Amino acid sequence: MATIKDVAKLAEVSTATVSRVLNENGYVHEETKNRVAKAIKQLNYKPNDVARSLFKGRSKMIALFIPDIMNPFFPELARAVEDMTKNHDFTFILCNTDDDIEKETAYIDALQQKSVDGLIIVSSTLTPEQLHHIQIPVVALDRKLNNGIASVTVNNREGSRQAVQYLKSLGCKKIAHVAGPEHVDNANERRRGYLDEVQNEDWFRLSLVEHGEYHYDAAKQATINLLKRHPDIDGLFVGNDLMAVGALKAAESLGINVPSDLSMIAFDGITLGETTSPSLTTMAQPIYQIGAKAAEMLIKQIEEEDTLTQSEEFSVQLIKRESTRRDEA
Amino acid sequence: MATIKDVAKLAEVSTATVSRVLNENGYVHEETKNRVAKAIKQLNYKPNDVARSLFKGRSKMIALFIPDIMNPFFPELARAVEDMTKNHDFTFILCNTDDDIEKETAYIDALQQKSVDGLIIVSSTLTPEQLHHIQIPVVALDRKLNNGIASVTVNNREGSRQAVQYLKSLGCKKIAHVAGPEHVDNANERRRGYLDEVQNEDWFRLSLVEHGEYHYDAAKQATINLLKRHPDIDGLFVGNDLMAVGALKAAESLGINVPSDLSMIAFDGITLGETTSPSLTTMAQPIYQIGAKAAEMLIKQIEEEDTLTQSEEFSVQLIKRESTRRDEA
DNA sequence: CTGAAAGCGCTAACAA
DNA sequence: TTGTTAGCGCTTTCAG
């Protein structure tokens, strides 16, 4: 690996001059600039980013924390963040945390030791105390973080209301809910949205809610419980698409036809939802946009050292597919 | 951020001594060691990895190149690699390349400038020339890389033969194949395995093979073409699970029942295959093991500077599920 | 057993 | 317009 010294020697200038043409700052004579450029090309010189980072205290790296790389929602999100970071010449680091606070803390330390410039975090477990240890810009994504930390989320509660309303508009008379984990704020918001719409119905019982942990297996089991307990359920709002795949399987295993016996609507709008049979009606998040927005906000914080804590909330959108009865419209 | 100097000052020793206790090398008196340890704790000192990297020329980082983060096979693989790298105190960097040679080259440069210690690469596009630019250890995963580069793969051809044999054993009389992209070696191996088994059958035609690009949409379309062209197909070997989801959808759209009209077997063994209706019979790769093995091999190369080019080939295993007729056994 | 000092490769004052 | 130099934080000879 050629160093800046080699280039300087070959071009017969000082390393400072090479640095100047590299970074396009300071004055440098056109002619010498050419000489340096030629030397760089000739040696195929690439600046050492580590040395640069050491000096600057910054690394041009950004990390994204996700709780579960196996839930397709997060790869889609990661994709968006990665694209955006690349556009701004940052290197992207993906960290899978399993929502495990120890893994999160370990990552936070390791990354800060590497002078990573900023963090985009999807987490429900990080405590204010842990967050206090973070000395670099942070943006919360998908789930809010307690403190005054910038965040990008969607209108989970309102979106869920709309989901249930749609089920009602289809004529559903008894609507159940498979909820996400209780420690995840967006899961609670979605549950609350469901409750907003149903708690005053005379058919409503608390036993119409089961928790499915945002996992396929748990959701399948939860749905089976629900459908056995209340065989007359004709509408189901599932907390996310991944769980809905399990719910679909559950209904099938009980001989319940979706959508003719049971209309099902979910949340997220991941690609997977188009591929199931029946395909999933869902409240779609603008996944790519929220990921991109979070990256943008973070980069702005990094580059402008502008710590104003803005928060963005996007809207979800109903996508009608095959898991719900046709509406009359 | 406290530096080693701060620690040295507080402990009333030189930075060299602090470094010694940090790295547990060289002799250092028990008593001074304690003094230093106390100072470290007191200041909550964490060594700066960038400075360390600059000195050592290594960063304790490993990158994984994958072509498509949206194909669930790769997150599963990434998960394995990540776990293993973490066990060895490396930081994991995931790079999504879209099988785009320019993105790959850009990543290779960027990562080497950051003194990344090694690369695990899933790629079908990297040329020997590009590979020549890589100055650090590399392990090829899932797909071989032309040169004498270590690799971890599975027995694609033999596994595919077994898949087709299984279809035959079920009584299938006309077996088609939805193949992966032509530029991907494992897709070709799988196609070859299929051909090994069918090319001497009197019913065989080349038109029983369609390409599905390892994508849901393309595979769905390919399957529709196939089934329209040859309505008497009663067995289908699909190049991977993701495509099989599309194939399932295609069959459904034509009113063809799987498995009673058509037995379908796929390849990969991703979790998604358990969740479809019907669930997928498939030749399962030991995904976690191959990812872990690749990481292990890479780390060994890095730490022992042991460039011997070994290659590992794992075996796939038939998992019988619902997309194939019950066998008599 | 411990410290002084050089140097990893680069950038940014400060001089010239 | 260019060069000299100090220093980012750490590790490692080399002396002592």
CATH of the domain at A77: 3.40.50.2300
CB atoms within 10 A of CB A178: 32
Angle between helices B216-229 and B241-253 (to 10 degrees): 50
In this structure, the answer to whether residues B296 and B149 fall within a common structural domain is yes
- Which of B91, B100, B129 would best serve as a mutation to test chain A binding (most A beta carbons within 10 A)? B91
Q: Residues A36-61, buried b or exposed e (16+ Cβ, 10 A)? A: beebbeebebebbbbbbbbeeebbbb
Strand D neighbours among B 204-243, CB < 7 A = none
**Yes or no, beta carbons of A46 and B246 under 8 Å apart:** no
Tokens of B231: 């309505």
The single-letter DSSP state of residue A206 is G
SS3 B319: strand
Q: Is residue A214 part of a domain?
A: yes
**Yes or no, beta carbons of B94 and A93 under 8 Å apart:** yes
Q: Would you say B219 and B185 are in contact if contact means Cβ atoms under 8 Å apart?
A: no
B58-106 tens-digit pLDDT: 999 999 999 999 999 999 999 999 999 999 999 999 999 999 999 999 9
Determine the residue type at B293: K
A2 → chain B, closest CA residue: B113
Question: Which nucleotide comes closest to A14 if you measure CA to C1'?
Answer: D3
In this structure, the answer to whether residues A188 and A256 fall within a common structural domain is yes
Chain B partners within 8 Å of A94 (Cβ): 78, 92-94
Residue B30 has pLDDT above 70, yes or no: yes
**Selection from A74, A72, A124 nearest residue A96 by Cα:** A74
Q: What DSSP element (H or E) covers B89? A: none
In this structure, the answer to whether residues B184 and B97 fall within a common structural domain is no
Tokens of A202: 């005379």
Q: Is residue A24 part of a domain?
A: yes
For chains A and B, CB pairs below 8 A equal 113
Mean pLDDT of A193-200: 97
Protein-covered nucleotides of chain C (CB closer than 7 Å) are 1-5, 7-13
Q: What DSSP element (H or E) covers B236? A: strand B235-238
- pLDDT band for position A305 (cuts 50, 70, 90): low
CA distance B259 to chain A (A): 15
Determine the residue type at B83: D
- pLDDT band for position B326 (cuts 50, 70, 90): confident
Mean pLDDT of A48-66: 97
- pLDDT band for position A146 (cuts 50, 70, 90): confident
Determine the residue type at A194: Y
Protein-covered nucleotides of chain D (CB closer than 7 Å) are 1-5, 7-13
Q: Is residue B191 part of a domain?
A: yes
- pLDDT band for position A308 (cuts 50, 70, 90): confident
Range of the structural domain that residue B25 is part of: 4-47
For chain A, give the mean pLDDT. Answer: 95
**Yes or no, beta carbons of B79 and A72 under 8 Å apart:** no
Q: Which of B1, B50, B277 sits opposite A53 (nearest CB)?
A: B50
Q: What φ, ψ does residue B156 adopt, rounded to 5°?
A: -60, -45
In this structure, the answer to whether residues A23 and A142 fall within a common structural domain is no
Chain B partners within 8 Å of A3 (Cβ): none
B158-173 tens-digit pLDDT: 999 999 999 999 999 9
Residue B329 has pLDDT above 80, yes or no: no
Query: In terms of C-beta distances under 8 Å and separation of at least 24 residues, what long-range contacts does B5-14 make, across chains too?
Result: B6/B43, B6/B45, B7/B36, B7/B39, B7/B40, B7/B43, B7/B45, B10/B39, B10/B42, B10/B43, B11/B35, B11/B36, B11/B38, B11/B39
What number of CA atoms fall less than 13 Å from residue B167's CA on the CB side?
32
Lowest mean pLDDT among A14-18, A158-162, B129-133, B303-307: B303-307
CA distance B9 to chain A (A): 21
In terms of phi and psi (left: phi > 0; alpha: psi -120 to 50; beta: otherwise), the region of A287 is: alpha
Q: Which residue is listed with tokens 């046709």?
A: A326
Angle at A276 between CA A273 and CA A278, to 5 degrees: 105
How much is the pTM? 0.94
Residues 6+ apart with CB under 8 A from A292: A80, A81, A83, A84
Question: Three-class SS string for A51-66?
Answer: HHHHHHCCCCEEEEEE
Task: Strand A61-66: give its sheet, edge to edge.
Answer: A91-96, A61-66, A118-121, A138-141, A150-154, A311-314
Q: Is residue A267 part of a domain?
A: yes
pLDDT at B113: 97
**Selection from B83, B89, B85, B87 nearest residue B63 by Cα:** B85
In this structure, the answer to whether residues B270 and B189 fall within a common structural domain is yes
In this structure, the answer to whether residues A170 and A280 fall within a common structural domain is yes
d(CA B17, C1' C2) / Å: 7
A269-293 tens-digit pLDDT: 999 999 999 999 999 999 999 999 9
In this structure, the answer to whether residues B147 and B173 fall within a common structural domain is no
Residues 6+ apart with CB under 8 A from A271: A72, A76, B70, B216
In this structure, the answer to whether residues A292 and A148 fall within a common structural domain is yes
Mean pLDDT of B244-257: 97
In terms of phi and psi (left: phi > 0; alpha: psi -120 to 50; beta: otherwise), the region of A174 is: beta
pLDDT at B305: 66
Q: Is residue B115 part of a domain?
A: yes
In this structure, the answer to whether residues A91 and A124 fall within a common structural domain is yes
Q: Which of B76, B82, B113 sits opposite A48 (nearest CB)?
A: B113
d(Cα A42, Cα A34) in Å, to the nearest integer? 12
Answer with the residue of higher pLDDT: B148 or B264: B264
d(Cα A126, Cα A151) in Å, to the nearest integer? 14
**Selection from A56, A55, A76 nearest residue A64 by Cα:** A76
d(Cα B82, Cα A63) in Å, to the nearest integer? 14
For chain B, give the mean pLDDT. Answer: 95
Tokens of A99: 């929502």
d(CA B19, C1' C7) / Å: 16
Q: Is residue B52 part of a domain?
A: no
Which protein residue's Cα is closest to nucleotide D5 at C1'? A16
Residue A317 bridge partners (DSSP): A284
Question: Over pLDDT 90: what percentage of chain B?
Answer: 93
In this structure, the answer to whether residues B143 and B255 fall within a common structural domain is no
Question: Which nucleotide comes closest to B50 if you measure CA to C1'?
Answer: D9
Tokens of B296: 């292990």
pLDDT at B146: 77
**Yes or no, beta carbons of B113 and A249 under 8 Å apart:** no
Q: What is the CATH number of the domain that holds B9?
A: 1.10.260.40
Q: Is residue A53 part of a domain?
A: no
SS3 A24: coil
d(CA A38, C1' D1) / Å: 19
Mean pLDDT of A85-95: 94
pLDDT at B215: 96
Question: Which nucleotide comes closest to B55 if you measure CA to C1'?
Answer: C8
Residue B181 has pLDDT above 80, yes or no: yes
d(CA A249, C1' C16) / Å: 79
Q: Is residue A242 part of a domain?
A: yes
**Yes or no, beta carbons of A275 and B82 under 8 Å apart:** no
Question: Which nucleotide comes closest to B17 if you measure CA to C1'?
Answer: C2
**Selection from B138, B86, B143 nearest residue B112 by Cα:** B138
A22-40 tens-digit pLDDT: 999 989 999 999 999 999 9
Question: Three-class SS string for B119-155?
Answer: EEECCCCCCHHHHHCCCCCEEEECCCCCCCCCEEEEC
d(CA A103, C1' C7) / Å: 35
d(Cα B156, Cα B147) in Å, to the nearest integer? 20
Residue A223 has pLDDT above 70, yes or no: yes
SS3 A204: coil
In this structure, the answer to whether residues A237 and A163 fall within a common structural domain is yes
Question: DSSP readout, A259-302?
Answer: TTT-EEEEEE--THHHHSSSPPEEEE--HHHHHHHHHHHHHHHH
d(Cα B17, Cα B277) in Å, to the nearest integer? 64
Answer with the residue of higher pLDDT: A298 or B306: A298
Q: How many structural domains compose chain A?
A: 3
**Selection from A299, A284, A287, A304 nearest residue A244 by Cα:** A284
In this structure, the answer to whether residues A132 and A98 fall within a common structural domain is yes
d(CA A69, C1' D9) / Å: 35
Residues 6+ apart with CB under 8 A from B200: none
pLDDT at A1: 85
Q: Which of B78, B91, B216 sits opposite A69 (nearest CB)?
A: B78
